[in-house]
Structure 1
Amino acid sequence: MPTKGMRSISFKTSSPSSSSSPSPSPSISIPPSSSHHHSFSNSLVMEENIEIAQFLIHKWDSDASNSLCSITSLFSFDNRQEAKQYLNAVNYLQSAMQHFIKEDTKSEKLVQAHNLMQIAMKRLEKEFYQILSSNRDHLDPESVSNRSSTARSSVSDFDEECSIDEFRVAGDSITETERVSMIAMADLKAIADCMIFSGYGKECVKIYKVMRKSIVDEALYYLGVERLRFSQVQKMDWEVLELKIKKWLNAVKVAVRTLFYGERILCDHVFSTSETIKGSCFAEISKEGAMYLFGFAENVAKCKKTPEKMFRTLDLYESISDLWPEIESIFSFESTSTVRSQAVTSVVKLGEAVRTMLVDFESAIQKDASKTPVPGGGVHPLTRYVMNYISVLADYGGILTDIVADWPLKIQSPLPAESYLGSPYPEDEPSSVISIRLAWLILVLLCKLDGKVKLYKDVALSYLFLANNLQYVVNKVRNSNIKFLVGDDWVTKHESKVKQYVSNYERMGWSKVIMSLPENPSASMLPEKAKDFFKRFNAAFEEACQKQSSWVVQDQKLRDEIKISVAKRIIPTYQEFYETHRVGFIRIMGSDPVVRYAPDDLGNHLSDILYGSGASGSVSSSNSSSTQSRSRRGS
Structure 2
Amino acid sequence: MKINLWLVIVGGSFSHFLIILRANLDPIGPSHQNHVVIQIDSDLPPQLTSGSVSQVDSPQPTDATLVTAQVAPSSPQGNIIDRGLIRTQFFGHIEELNKKNGKLIDTIFKHVGEYLKANVVNVDHILVPEIHADDNMVADALPQRIITNLGDTGRLMFLNECYNMYSRCRREFLQECLSTFGLQFEKLKVEDSEKMEKIESWIKAMNLTVRILFPNERRLCDRRFPSSYAADISFSKVCKELTVGLLRFANTLATENHHSPYHLSHAIPKVFKTLSDLIPNFNALFYGQLLSESLINDVVFVGKRLGIFVELESLIQREVAQKTVPNGGIHPTTHEVMNYLRDVFTDNENFRIRKGISSFSDQVARVIQVLVSNLEAKSTNYKDPALGHVFMINNLMLLQYGEHIYGVIVGQDWYKSKINQRIELYQRSSWNKILEFLMLDPCESLTHNVAGLMKNKLKCFNQHFNETRRAQAAWFIFDEKLREMMIKSIENRLLPAYGNFLGKLQDVLGKDAYDIVDYGLQNIQDRLSLLFLATKT
TMscore range, shorter length: 0.5 to 0.7
- CA apart distance, 1:340: 6.1
Report the counterpart of residue 325 of structure 1 in structure 2. 283
1:545 paired to 2:466? no
Contact 1:141 1:263 (8 Å CA) reproduced: no
Contact 2:275 2:303 (8 Å CA) reproduced: yes
Q: From 526, 530, 533, give the equivalent of 1:611.
A: 533
Structure 1 residues 446 and 92 mapped into 2: Cα distance closer, same or farther (>3 Å)?
Answer: closer
1:463 paired to 2:386? yes
Give distance in 1, aligned partners of 2:182 and 2:477.
48
Q: From 244, 255, 268, give the equivalent of 2:198.
A: 244
Q: From 209, 219, 223, give the equivalent of 1:265.
A: 219
- CA apart distance, 1:255: 0.6
Structure 1 residues 350 and 220 mapped into 2: Cα distance closer, same or farther (>3 Å)?
Answer: same
Contact 1:483 1:491 (8 Å CA) reproduced: no
Give distance in 2, aligned partners of 1:611 and 1:465.
17
Report the counterpart of residue 245 of structure 2 in structure 1. 292
Give distance in 1, aligned partners of 2:511 and 2:105.
104
Report the counterpart of residue 61 of structure 2 in structure 1. none
Question: Which one-letter code corresponds to 2:478 in the other structure?
Answer: Q
Matches within 5 A, 1:182-221: 182=140, 184-192=142-150, 215-221=173-179
Question: Which one-letter code corresponds to 1:434 in the other structure?
Answer: Q
Contact 1:260 1:286 (8 Å CA) reproduced: yes
Q: Identity of paired residues, percent?
A: 18
Matches within 5 A, 1:162-561: 182=140, 184-192=142-150, 215-226=173-184, 228-229=186-187, 233-237=188-192, 240-270=194-224, 272=226, 288-303=241-256, 305=258, 308=265, 311=269, 314-315=272-273, 318-319=276-277, 321-328=279-286, 337=291, 341=294, 344-345=297-298, 347-348=300-301, 351=304, 357=310, 361=314, 364=317, 368-370=320-322, 372-385=323-336, 434=363, 437-438=366-367, 440-442=369-371, 444-452=373-381, 455-456=382-383, 458=384, 462-477=385-400, 479-480=402-403, 484-508=408-432, 510-511=434-435, 514=438, 538-561=462-485
Give distance in 1, aligned partners of 2:183 and 2:417.
49
Q: Deviations over 1:190-230 (max 9, x none)?
A: 4445666899x99999998897555422321245542524x
Give distance in 2, aligned partners of 1:328 and 1:541.
70
Contact 1:141 1:260 (8 Å CA) reproduced: no
Give distance in 1, aligned partners of 2:101 and 2:495.
87
Question: Which one-letter code corresponds to 1:249 in the other structure?
Answer: I
Which has the larger displacement, 601-610 or 485-494? 485-494
Give distance in 2, aligned partners of 1:588 and 1:213.
98
Contact 1:249 1:316 (8 Å CA) reproduced: yes
Contact 1:563 1:606 (8 Å CA) reproduced: yes
- CA apart distance, 1:558: 2.8
Give distance in 2, aligned partners of 1:440 and 1:369.
18
Give distance in 2, aligned partners of 1:204 and 1:526.
107
The residue matched to 1:303 in structure 2 has which SS?
A: helix
Contact 2:94 2:169 (8 Å CA) reproduced: no
Question: Which one-letter code corresponds to 1:217 in the other structure?
Answer: Q
Give distance in 2, aligned partners of 1:529 and 1:572.
20
Give distance in 1, aligned partners of 2:511 and 2:140.
108
TM-score by length of 2: 0.58
Contact 2:329 2:395 (8 Å CA) reproduced: no
Q: Deviations over 1:321-355 (max 9, x none)?
A: 3333244269x5x9xx4x76456445435545769
The residue matched to 2:199 in structure 1 has which SS?
A: helix
- CA apart distance, 1:476: 1.2
Contact 2:184 2:201 (8 Å CA) reproduced: no
User: Number of paired residues?
Assistant: 440
Question: Which one-letter code corresponds to 2:247 in the other structure?
Answer: F
Q: Deviations over 1:111-157 (max 9, x none)?
A: xxx9xxxxxx99999999678746953687859999xxxxxxxxxxx
Which has the larger displacement, 383-392 or 242-251? 383-392
Contact 2:386 2:426 (8 Å CA) reproduced: yes
**Root-mean-square deviation over aligned CA pairs:** 6.3
Unaligned stretches of 5+ residues in structure 2: 1-16, 22-40, 56-79, 81-86, 113-135
- CA apart distance, 1:281: 7.3
Give distance in 1, aligned partners of 2:497 and 2:151.
101
Structure 1 residues 359 and 520 mapped into 2: Cα distance closer, same or farther (>3 Å)?
Answer: same
The residue matched to 2:408 in structure 1 has which SS?
A: helix
Report the counterpart of residue 137 of structure 1 in structure 2. 103
- CA apart distance, 1:492: 4.6
Contact 2:276 2:303 (8 Å CA) reproduced: no
Question: Which one-letter code corresponds to 2:392 in the other structure?
Answer: N
- CA apart distance, 1:368: 2.2
Give distance in 2, aligned partners of 1:122 and 1:323.
36
The residue matched to 1:485 in structure 2 has which SS?
A: coil
Q: Deviations over 1:419-455 (max 9, x none)?
A: xx9xxxx9x9967863773465145325413532xx4
Report the counterpart of residue 601 of structure 1 in structure 2. 523
- CA apart distance, 1:259: 1.0
Unaligned stretches of 5+ residues in structure 1: 1-35, 41-86, 102-113, 115-120, 147-177, 403-420, 624-635
Structure 1 residues 305 and 350 mapped into 2: Cα distance closer, same or farther (>3 Å)?
Answer: farther
Give distance in 2, aligned partners of 1:389 and 1:197.
53
TM-score by length of 1: 0.51
Give distance in 2, aligned partners of 1:570 and 1:340.
67
Question: Which one-letter code corresponds to 1:369 in the other structure?
Answer: A
Question: Which one-letter code corresponds to 1:374 in the other structure?
Answer: V
Contact 2:316 2:333 (8 Å CA) reproduced: no
Give distance in 1, aligned partners of 2:422 and 2:312.
28
Q: Deviations over 1:59-98 (max 9, x none)?
A: xxxxxxxxxxxxxxxxxxxxxxxxxxxx999844654647
Structure 1 residues 390 and 375 mapped into 2: Cα distance closer, same or farther (>3 Å)?
Answer: same
